[in-house]
Amino acid sequence: MARTYDVTTIGSAIVDIIATVDEDFLLAHRIPRGVMTLIDEQRAHKLHQALPEKREIAGGSAANTMAGLASLGARGAFAGKVRADRLGEAFHASMTELGVHYATPMAKGGPATGSCLIAVTPDGQRSMSTYLGANREFSVSDLNEREVAAAEILYIEGYLWDAPLAKEASIRAMSAARKAGTRIAFTMSDPFLVDRYRGEFLDMIRNGTLDIVFANEEEAKSLFKVDTFDDVFQAMHGWHGMAALTRSEKGCVIAQREEVHVIDAAPVLRVVDTTGAGDQFAAGFLYGVTHKLPLADSGRLGSLAAAEVISHYGARPEVSLKKLAQSAGLL
Amino acid sequence: MARTYDVTTIGSAIVDIIATVDEDFLLAHRIPRGVMTLIDEQRAHKLHQALPEKREIAGGSAANTMAGLASLGARGAFAGKVRADRLGEAFHASMTELGVHYATPMAKGGPATGSCLIAVTPDGQRSMSTYLGANREFSVSDLNEREVAAAEILYIEGYLWDAPLAKEASIRAMSAARKAGTRIAFTMSDPFLVDRYRGEFLDMIRNGTLDIVFANEEEAKSLFKVDTFDDVFQAMHGWHGMAALTRSEKGCVIAQREEVHVIDAAPVLRVVDTTGAGDQFAAGFLYGVTHKLPLADSGRLGSLAAAEVISHYGARPEVSLKKLAQSAGLL
C-alpha cells in the first residue's frame, strides 16, 4: 500500500522546562546527574518553583524526533496524550506548527500535561525530572492503527514502558505494524529504564519484534550488563536489524547483519546542552532509512542532526536540518 | 618446527634524540608537524646542534616494538644496521639489555648510525627528522633467514621502503617467512611514506602477502585515499588477515574477516609525548596474537601498552608491561 507517513510515532507528550543550574542545585534537590528520573506532581511543582529563569519548550523524546524529521522534510504522525490545559495546548500547537499529524484526543480531566524539568549544568549535561501526568492515560483506545499501517516506520520510545497503559498501546501498535509491513524502530531511552525492563527489551531484540534499535552506550551497556563498548557491539553484531549505537563525542557504530560502520561525531564548536542529542540522531537516521540512503550516510545524518541540537539549548533543531544536510553533501 | 622466537623483526636501527621545543622551533627550522621527514647528514648535524637539552634513547619503530614485546615477556630477534660508532654501540647495547637477539654485523665504515631528532611540542605531538645513515646499508647479505623461519611472526616496518637495500632484504625475508609458515605483520609507519609506496603497500594487502597490518587513521586514509575512518574500515572489512586500525584517543578497530572489535583507548592521566604509541600498540597486539589471546584482548593489550608509552617521554616502556597487563586483567 502507499505510505502516507515516513514515520509514525507513539511517544510521551511533554513540555520541557529548561533551566541552567550549578552542580550545587543538583545536590540540594537530590537530582540524579545526567539521567531521567520520574517524579510525582508534588515534586514537579516544588522543583518547578525552585528552578531559576526557566523556559518552556515542547519536548518529549519521540516528539523531538518528529520535529527533527519534519525539519528534514519527512512526513510524520505523532500519538501521545496531553490534557486540555495550558501546557497541553502549547504542546499540541508545537506539533501542528511542525506539520506533524497529531490527532490524539486531549483529556478533558485527569492528570495535568506531562512536563520534564531539565537542569542543565555548565558542562552541557542535562539531568531530567519527568512528571508523566497525562501520558499515563494514553491507552489502546487512543491508538489509531491506520496511522501505524500508513507509515513506513513505527517509532516507539522506551520511556513509554513506565506508563503501563501506553506500553500496552505500544505493543498493540507493534502488532499492527507487523501486519502492515511497517518496520518497527525502538529507542532504549535511558539506562535506568533499561534496567527496569531489560528482559522485555532483550526479548524484543531477539524474537524479531524490532527492526531498528537505537541505544546510546550507557543504555546498551545496561541492556547487556557489560562494561565495554566492544562487548555491546559483539552482542549486537550480526543482528538481523539495524543497530544504531551512539557514543556521544566518540560518534556511533551502525550495524546490520555483517555490515558495520564506524561513524565519527559531527564537529560541534561548543557543546551547550546535550538534551535531545539521541532524539535528533534518531531523526537523522530514520530520515536516511526512509529515504533509501546508504546505512553509513544515515548514521552521518544522525550525527549531523545531533551536533546541531547540542550546540544550543533545547531538544529540537533551531535551523533547517534539510539545509544543513544539503550543505554537508548528505542530501 | 619449534619456534625459537615469538617475533623476528627487520627495522631501522636508530637512536632517538629527543627535545622539548615550542611551536616556533618547528617553524624556524621548517620541521613538518607530527610526521616523519627524512633528512641528510648535514641537516641532522645542524638540527642536532640547534636542539635544546636533548636526551639520547635507543629508538627505531620496530626496535621499540621489540622493547615492548620484551617488556611483556616475549622472545624476539631484531635485524637492523648500525655503524660501530658511539650511537651504534649504544643502540646495540640497548637491544642486548632487553634480551632481544640481535646479531646483524655492525658496519666498520660508511654512513654513521641512524638518528631521529624528535621535537616534542607542548601538546605531546612529535615531529621527527630522521637521518637513516647506516640503515641504508642493511642488505640481503645481512639477512639471516633462519631467524625469520624460527619466528611465529615476522614484523616489518614500512619505513624500510625508504632504504632500497633494506626494502629488498625485507621482501626476501617475507618470502622466507611464507615458506616457513611464519606469519607476516607490517606497519604502514607514516602517512607520507604510504603516499610514496601506496601501490606496493596495497598490493601486499590484496595479494595475500600480509597476514597482519597495522595502520593509524592518517596512514590508512592515505593508503586508500579516503576522507573518513568509515571509508578506511569499509576498505579493510572482510580482509582475510588481521587489520589493526589505530585512532589515537578514539581507540582502535580490529578486524579479521567478519570479526570486528571496537576498542576504546586505555586511560592516560596526561599525554606527555606520543612518540612510540603505534610501536607499543603493535607490541601489545603482537604479544596477544602470539600468545593466543582473543582478538579483542590483543587490541586491548595494544591500547594498554600505547597508553603507558605516551604518559612519559621516549618511545619504549618505562615499567613492566607484563605487570601492567596483569593488573589490568589482560594476562
* Full DSSP string of B11-40: ---EEEEEEE--HHHHHHTTPPTTSEEE--
Interval A85-106 mean pLDDT: 96
In this predicted structure, what is the pLDDT of residue B272? 87
Chain A closest-CA separation from residue B136 CA (Å)? 39
Q: CB atoms < 10 A from the CB of A37, how many?
A: 15
- The Cα of B125 is separated from the nearest Cα of chain A by a number of Å equal to 21
Q: CA-to-CA distance for A12 and A160, rounded, in angstroms?
A: 7
- Predicted complex: ipTM over 0.90: no
How is domain B5-13+61-110+136-327 classified at the CATH fold level?
A: UDP-N-acetylmuramoyl-L-alanine:D-glutamate ligase (3.40.1190)
B102: contact with A, CB 8 A cutoff? no
The phi and psi torsions of B313 (rounded to 5 degrees) equal -70, 150
Q: What is the pLDDT of residues A295-313, one digit of tens each?
A: 999 999 999 999 999 999 8
The pLDDT tens digits for A155-175 are: 999 999 999 999 999 999 999
Low-confidence spans in chain B with pLDDT less than 70: 1
Portion 286-305 of B in contact with A at CB < 8 A: 296
Residue A2, pLDDT above cutoff 80: no
Whose grid coordinates read 636542539?
A: B51
Model confidence, pTM = 0.91
Residues B150-159 pLDDT 10s = 999 999 999 9
pLDDT band at A36 (very low <50, low <70, confident <90, very high): confident
Task: From chain B, pick out residues whose CB is under 8 angstroms from the CB of A253.
Answer: 262
Nearest by CB: A229 against B228, B237, B262: B262
* pLDDT, position B309: 96
3-state secondary structure chain A: CCCCEEEEEECCCEEEEEEECCHHHHHHCCCCCCCEEECCHHHHHHHHHHCCCCEEEEECHHHHHHHHHHHHCCCEEEECCCECCHHHHHHHHHHHHHCCEECCCCECCCCCCEEEEEEECCCCCEEEEEECHHHHHCCHHHCCHHHHHCEEEEEEEHHHHHCHHHHHHHHHHHHHHHHHCCEEEEECCCHHHHHHHHHHHHHHHHCCCCCEEEEEHHHHHHHHCCCCHHHHHHHHCCCCCEEEEECHHHCEEEEECCEEEEECCCCCCCCCCCCCHHHHHHHHHHHHHHCCCCHHHHHHHHHHHHHHHCCCCCCCCCCCHHHHHHHCCCC
Q: What percent of chain A has pLDDT over 70?
A: 99
- What is the average pLDDT value for chain B, to the nearest integer? 96
CB B316 within 8 A of CB B68: yes
> Given this model, what pLDDT does residue B64 score?
97
For B85, the 3-state DSSP assignment is: coil
Q: For A314-329, write each residue's pLDDT tens digit.
A: 899 999 999 999 999 9
Q: Quote the minimal CA–CA distance from B27 to chain A in Å.
A: 27
Q: Phi-psi region for residue A278, left (φ > 0), alpha (ψ -120 to 50) or beta? A: alpha
Tell me what pLDDT residue A292 has: 96
Task: Give B-chain residues touching A229 at CB under 8 angstroms.
Answer: 262, 264
Amino acid at A40: D
Taking an 8 Å cut-off on Cβ atoms, the answer to whether A264 and B229 are in contact is yes
Asked whether the beta carbons of residue A260 and residue B233 sit closer than 8 angstroms, the reply is: yes
A228 touches chain B (CB under 8 A): yes
Per-residue confidence (pLDDT) for residue B186, from 0 to 100: 98
Give the neighbor-by-neighbor strand order of the sheet with A14-20: A36-38, A126-131, A114-120, A14-20, A55-59
Chain B residues with CB-CB distance to A296 below 8 A: 230, 234
Rounded mean pLDDT, A280-284: 98
Distance from CA of A316 to the nearest CA of B (A): 28
Architecture of domain A5-324: 3-Layer(aba) Sandwich (3.40)
Residues 242-261 of B with CB under 8 A from A: 250-251, 253, 258, 260-261
Picking from A226, A228, A230, A232 by the largest number of B CB atoms within 10 A of its own CB, the best residue to mutate is: A230
What is the average pLDDT value for chain A, to the nearest integer? 96
Bridge partners of residue A39, in order along the sequence: none
CA distance B87 to chain A (A): 43
- List Cβ neighbours of A287 (8 Å cut-off, separation of 6 or more): A6, A68, A69, A72, A73, A74, A293, A298, A301
Which residue among B237, B260, B264 places its CB closest to the CB of A229? B264
Measured between CA atoms, how close is A14 to chain B, in angstroms? Answer: 36
Q: What is the mean pLDDT of residues A66-92?
A: 97
Asked if B202 reaches chain A (Cβ–Cβ under 8 Å), the answer is: no
pLDDT band at A262 (very low <50, low <70, confident <90, very high): very high
- Chain B: give the shortest CA distance to residue A65, in Å: 25
Residue A73 has pLDDT above 70, yes or no: yes
- Are B296 and A264 an interchain contact pair (Cβ–Cβ within 8 Å)? no
| Banded pLDDT at A1 (limits 50, 70, 90) | low
Q: What is the pLDDT of residue B275?
A: 86
* Residue among B229, B250, B262 minimizing CB distance to A233: B262
Contacts of B237 in chain A (CB under 8 A): 260
Q: What is the pLDDT of residue A35?
A: 86
Q: Please report the number of interchain residue pairs, chain A to chain B, with beta-carbon separation below 8 angstroms.
A: 40
pLDDT at B34: 87
Interface test mutation site (partner A, options B226, B228, B262, B295, max chain A beta carbons within 10 A): B262
pLDDT tens profile A212-228: 999 999 999 999 999 99
Q: State the pLDDT at residue B75.
A: 98
